[in-house]
Amino acid sequence: MSWLAALAIIGPLAAYADSPGVAAHKSAIASAYPLASQAGQEILAQGGNAFDAAVAVSAALAVVEPSSSGLGGGGFYLLHRQSDGFETMVDAREKAPGAASRDMYLDKAGNPIPNASTDGALAAAIPGEPAAFEYLALRFGKLPLKQSLQPAIRLARNGFPLYARLQGGIRFKRDLLLRSPAAAKVFLTGNGGVPEIGAIIKQPNLAATLEAIADQGAKGFYTGRVAQDLVAGARAGGGIWTLADLAAYKVVERKPLAGEYRGARIVSAPPPSSGGVALLDALNILSGFDLHAVDSATRKHLIIEAMRRAYRDRALYLGDPDFVRMPIPLLISPDYAAGQRASIRPDRAMPSDLLPGIEPRAVGMQTTHFSVLDARGNLVAATITINLFFGCGYMAANTGVLLNDEMDDFSIKAATPNAFGLVGDEANEIAPNKRPLSSMTPSFVRTSKGLMIIGTPGGSRIISMVLLGTLDYLNGMSAADIVKDPRYHHQYLPDEVEYESGALAESEISQLKEKGQTLKEGRGRWGNMQVVTWDFASGKVEAASDPRGEGAGLVY
């Protein structure tokens, strides 16, 4: 069924949802930590809409999941406004500082300086999240920032009990955090140890920074006292930020990418994320196969081959749309996908053009995603990040703000893999004020019967996870089963399929090997997917948080 036909069917229900006094369905929030989901719920209960809730959830995550996102980072907010169907993406991706340069992470011989783009303030790009708060509140929300930021301010001031995953992150990054006195003060004990589970983590400086934003909007962060402290802090930590960089930061509204897959409409993130392009490219390739007519090993093989080709395009073509020209309409066109599909053999893996010795490092749950549906049918899919666990590990004194290490998402040298083993080329090389290419893939999937709001952290694997989640949803799986489903992944280079234990049956493993796929069982599990689904006919709403994490899906 076409998208228009689907719209015609859901039209009357949408109108019903908007009738005064009629609650056609419940609201739902799925986020990576219960206190953040509750912060969103509190704001919805005060009359806020999904966009106000998105501000509240993001700000609360900055406090209670400070390892994954925060005021010192950025992200993408994919929005659907029910009253007029308007869809947009608020691009709050960080930007390279004005003094950044193409080879800034290379030594004189042209070799990457170890960890320079991940650890310490030189790795930090200019944050976008605080600008997104103001933009969301003013343009789409109903409540003032002063109200939406209250739950986060309270959590920062009063503290919250340390939980296992955050403690694990602190232990993992302890040496890095020790190098930043302000970060050590918040996250480590007086003698530099890792606090016990249940220890109350209070962040008074972060509360004050949130209050400055609550009182003055984005200006409270990008100018004045906070900006001065941020710049002084970044420079003390070896960074190159200037007051002018902060003052110049603006979010950009970008038209989401949309495509169709077997009657479903997929809406996803455009560049500077690679997510939407790669997701639509892979789905277009798969649309020419009958995935139900083949055995499970062949089905997985075909999905892997689609991933391989979509990630290749990511590496070759994509970057910040304000800096590079990209053949996006071509990359997401069915004709292009048909060409790619022609090179896929159901019985044989096609080797990627091998580059020697590329090994992706283990990916944790840095970055965070949340999904919101309000009772009027407004939707938010937001993936926000400071990149690796605790970003660059550096907190600017007096601000409570951990700086990101998003500069590592640039290609610091052609064909040199980043922390996620991703390679890139000129399109994603560093330039002043440019946004690094992202894999974050906040998405909506809509059919005639219902819709799904989906996203996850996981670095390069985000795109393949959202692809698998989309296929699962279209196969009729529930939100709870979608977030649980074991994952497998191919990203073109390195040329191997990585899989979670349980993702491939023994027989599938041997058949995939026979087809020439190189398989590698991943250590541990990956991702922290947050899914909300809404069934139009029954009004049933489900919110599910990935069992790999300890988030909460709330429906009310």
Catalytically active residues are 367
Between 54 and 529, whose beta carbon lies closer to ligand DON?
529
Nearby residues of 1 by Cβ (< 8 Å), 6 or more positions away = 263, 447, 448
Closest CA to 410 of 77, 123, 90, 72: 123
Between 389 and 534, whose beta carbon lies closer to ligand DON?
389
Length of the chain: 556
Question: Residue 494, preceding bond cis, omega within 30 degrees?
Answer: yes
Considering the rule CB under 6 A, would residue 117 count as an interface residue with ligand DON?
A: no
Q: Which stretch binds ligand DON (CB under 6 A): 32-40, 52-60, 231-239, 437-445?
A: 437-445
Between 151 and 458, whose beta carbon lies closer to ligand DON?
458
Q: Which stretch binds ligand DON (CB under 6 A): 8-16, 372-380, 452-460, 510-518?
A: 452-460
**Beta strands 450-454; 488-489: pairing state:** unpaired
Closest CA to 455 of 367, 378, 332: 367
Shortest Å distance, C-beta 92 to ligand DON: 12
Shortest Å distance, C-beta 46 to ligand DON: 31
Closest CA to 2 of 256, 257, 265, 289: 265
Considering the rule CB under 6 A, would residue 457 count as an interface residue with ligand DON?
A: yes
Shortest Å distance, C-beta 409 to ligand DON: 5
Between 409 and 485, whose beta carbon lies closer to ligand DON?
409
Residue window 384-403: x/- pattern of binding to ligand DON, with contact defined by CB under 6 A: -x-x----------------
Shortest Å distance, C-beta 451 to ligand DON: 24
Shortest Å distance, C-beta 317 to ligand DON: 16
Pairwise CA distance, residues 160 & 15, whole Å: 41
Shortest Å distance, C-beta 283 to ligand DON: 19
Pairwise CA distance, residues 46 & 111, whole Å: 54
Q: Which stretch binds ligand DON (CB under 6 A): 17-25, 50-58, 435-443, 546-554?
A: 435-443
Between 125 and 504, whose beta carbon lies closer to ligand DON?
125
Shortest Å distance, C-beta 402 to ligand DON: 14
Considering the rule CB under 6 A, would residue 439 count as an interface residue with ligand DON?
A: yes
Q: Are 236 and 397 in contact (CB under 8 A)?
A: yes
Distances (CA, A) of 357 to 40, 416, 421, 429, 496: 44, 10, 10, 21, 12
Q: Are 518 and 455 in contact (CB under 8 A)?
A: no
Considering the rule CB under 6 A, would residue 440 count as an interface residue with ligand DON?
A: yes
Determine which residue in the list 438, 464, 470, 511 makes contact with ligand DON, applying CB under 6 A: 438
Q: Which stretch binds ligand DON (CB under 6 A): 310-318, 346-354, 457-465, 534-542?
A: 457-465
Considering the rule CB under 6 A, would residue 364 count as an interface residue with ligand DON?
A: yes
Considering the rule CB under 6 A, would residue 409 count as an interface residue with ligand DON?
A: yes
Determine which residue in the list 458, 469, 549, 551 makes contact with ligand DON, applying CB under 6 A: 458
Q: How many CB atoms neighbour CB 426 within 10 A?
A: 12
Between 462 and 468, whose beta carbon lies closer to ligand DON?
462
How big is the site for ligand DON, counted in residues (CB under 6 A)? 16
Token pair of 544 as six digits: 């599910």
Helices (H), 26-160: 34-45, 50-64, 129-139, 145-148, 150-158
Token pair of 472 as six digits: 């699962």
Residue window 50-79: x/- pattern of binding to ligand DON, with contact defined by CB under 6 A: ------------------------------
Between 186 and 465, whose beta carbon lies closer to ligand DON?
465
Shortest Å distance, C-beta 112 to ligand DON: 18
Considering the rule CB under 6 A, would residue 268 count as an interface residue with ligand DON?
A: no
Q: Are 506 and 294 in contact (CB under 8 A)?
A: no
Determine which residue in the list 70, 130, 393, 459 makes contact with ligand DON, applying CB under 6 A: 459
Q: Can you name the residues that pair with 264 across neighbouring β-strands?
A: 261
Closest CA to 320 of 91, 68, 69, 77: 91
Between 245 and 409, whose beta carbon lies closer to ligand DON?
409
Between 217 and 272, whose beta carbon lies closer to ligand DON?
272
Between 52 and 500, whose beta carbon lies closer to ligand DON?
500
**Beta strands 257-261; 443-446: pairing state:** unpaired
Phi, psi of 292 (to 5 degrees): -90, -15
Q: Which stretch binds ligand DON (CB under 6 A): 26-34, 194-202, 453-461, 500-508?
A: 453-461
Q: How many CB atoms neighbour CB 399 within 10 A?
A: 25
Between 48 and 455, whose beta carbon lies closer to ligand DON?
455
Q: Which stretch binds ligand DON (CB under 6 A): 138-146, 201-209, 364-372, 513-521?
A: 364-372
Which residue carries 């989640």 as its tokens? 469
> What counts of helices (H) and strands (E) characterise the chain?
20, 20
The DSSP call for residue 196 is P
Determine which residue in the list 31, 118, 366, 533 makes contact with ligand DON, applying CB under 6 A: 366
Helices (H), 237-386: 243-248, 275-286, 296-317, 328-331, 334-342
Grouping H, G, I as helix, E, B as strand and the rest as coil, residue 444 is strand
Closest CA to 240 of 249, 231, 248: 231
Q: Can you name the residues that pair with 260 across neighbouring β-strands?
A: 265
Q: Which stretch binds ligand DON (CB under 6 A): 40-48, 252-260, 263-271, 438-446?
A: 438-446
Considering the rule CB under 6 A, would residue 367 count as an interface residue with ligand DON?
A: yes
Q: Are 283 and 261 in contact (CB under 8 A)?
A: yes
Shortest Å distance, C-beta 462 to ligand DON: 6
Identity of residue 185:
K
Q: Which stretch binds ligand DON (CB under 6 A): 14-22, 167-175, 363-371, 393-401?
A: 363-371
Query: For binding to ligand DON (CB under 6 A), which residues are involved?
Result: 363-367, 385, 387, 406, 409, 438-440, 457-459, 462
